[in-house]
Structure 1
Amino acid sequence: MIVTERTSAMTPHHSVRVESPTERRNPRTLDIDRLPTVEVLRLLNAEDRTAADAVAAVLPGLALVVDRTVRQLGSGGRLHYFGAGSSGRLAVMDAAELIPTFGVRPGLVVAHHAGGSAALTLPTEGAEDRAEDGAADAADVGPLDVAVGITASGRTPYVGGALQAARAAGAFTVLVSANPQAELAPLAEVHLGVDTGPEAITGSTRLKAATAHKLLLNSLSTATMVAMGHTYSNLMVDVAAGNDKLRGRLSAILEEATGRSPAACAEALAAAGGELKTALVGLLADCGPERARSALAANGGRVRPALATAAEG
């Protein structure tokens, strides 16, 4: 993890290019094409294990990013991801999954992918070379926002253009890479350079680098959602019930959180108009939906402080 300070002179475009660790040959897999299938799989599995350790090494920096993101979003900002290739696709998936998982409004977390939506399923690798496209995608980033650039090599022009534009707009900028010496690091206030080393297949960053980036993005968004009150204990209390499976999950979550019977939970949910948090606070604080709803509103939707407020009322 590298934390950098902003200076107006910082530009990545005139840096000395250093080979990314992901582009080096891996001495442990030189004979991978001569091995039985199970041995190939063992090699890949052994390499994959290093991704979690690489993420563990940058957790202090990730904590800084989470805390700042919580403050920015709480002030009306948004979280933007900018990526290309495998890393960009993972960012799109992370952003999309937050809506049903935590009930966040569309547009709070936005993923921008080099080449647009068409590049998600049909690779357009040349799109990542256009810094101007990254700058254009970051045109609506503002000073309350967080801009996270994701690039395995740490030098993708699309990501650089986006970070430079976001930084000029006063946003909090973060670089996620698999290169501790990333060329774009000066454009970010925090650089999370996970040291995953050379890939099992030279340069194939859809392997360890992408795995580490998925872990980082999942941790960033999940920890942010927890801090913003979208969970009670380890339960998803803002889950968007958009299908029968998820509607059934509301009752199951309520039963798990309160220890009440299915009938009591169904009755509380109905009285709360289907609002899981309202029903939860009502059951745990032994109060009606209006008091529960008011307590939640007074505490930014966070269940634990709302329980204390409801009990006092």
Structure 2
Amino acid sequence: MTVLILTCEQDVTADMVVAQLHKRGVPLVRFDPGDLPGEGALSAEYVRGEFRGYLSMGGRVVSMDGLRSVWVRRPSEPAAHAPEPSAWLSAESGQALYGMLECTQVPWMNDPSAAAKARLKPWQLRLAHQSGFPVPATVITTYPRVARQFADQYRHVVVKVVSGKPPSEPPMALPTTLVPPDADFSDVAAAPTLLQRYIAKTADIRLTSVGNESFAARKVAEPGQVDGRYGDTGHTWRPVDVPGRVARAVAQYRKFSGLAYGAFDFAEDSEGTWWFLECNQGGQFGFVELETEQPIADAVAAWLSAPGE
């Protein structure tokens, strides 16, 4: 039985899991949807109520009947590398590939429909609250007056993107930014803007959830630091125990969201409370594993290789 990994060619995090799968002797095929059609190929036939399909990449062929699990890591847009890419070709290729894979009965990390919903920030925040996480007050608005009222009410607020980094060349860096007291909110009318109460944090927390396992790491924050993803503070990630309340909330979030994997980001305040910021359903973990030596890649490999054994 074969593990199918959907990701781009340059993905160090996937490389770490591939190495662990090789150690376990688990067959795998690495397939980038961006290479379909072209280096990647597929064929599926509807026979007596079932689709019998095949994928091939780099000389490797895998049958849909022979799949053990599917890991959607960091795939390119379908047909992105075609000689004449187009929105139509991407839609056709994506429908064919993911439609065929959805006909299998194997576990996904993560199921595309669950992953798509999990990317929606308003839904994330609501689910986080329902799961038991402390969540900072947040507003998403195109009304400058509402933005001004929110800033006046909470005094210290940050602005952050709703959907993540936009596709661009070169990639844009969009850190979470503290809003100055005299900010002009008139531009809020141009696009939905997310404002959130600023949490004066003592540390950043990254919790990587793999199935039923959780790996938490903590990095000390500098006074007044806003976005721990940018700038070198001189501190490193260190393993930290997961508080019982957080562990229960993670389990609830995973149950309600249908995610098998999630990278949770928290801001720890001076009282030790972990404030929920977001859950990235496809977040990287390589940088945490390299600094903490937590066996996250092995946990992912174990989850992917368990079905069908």
TM-score, scaled relative to structure 2:
0.26
Larger Cα-atom Rg:
1
Structure having the larger proportion of residues in strand: 2
TM-score, scaled relative to structure 1:
0.26
Structure having the larger proportion of residues in helix: 1
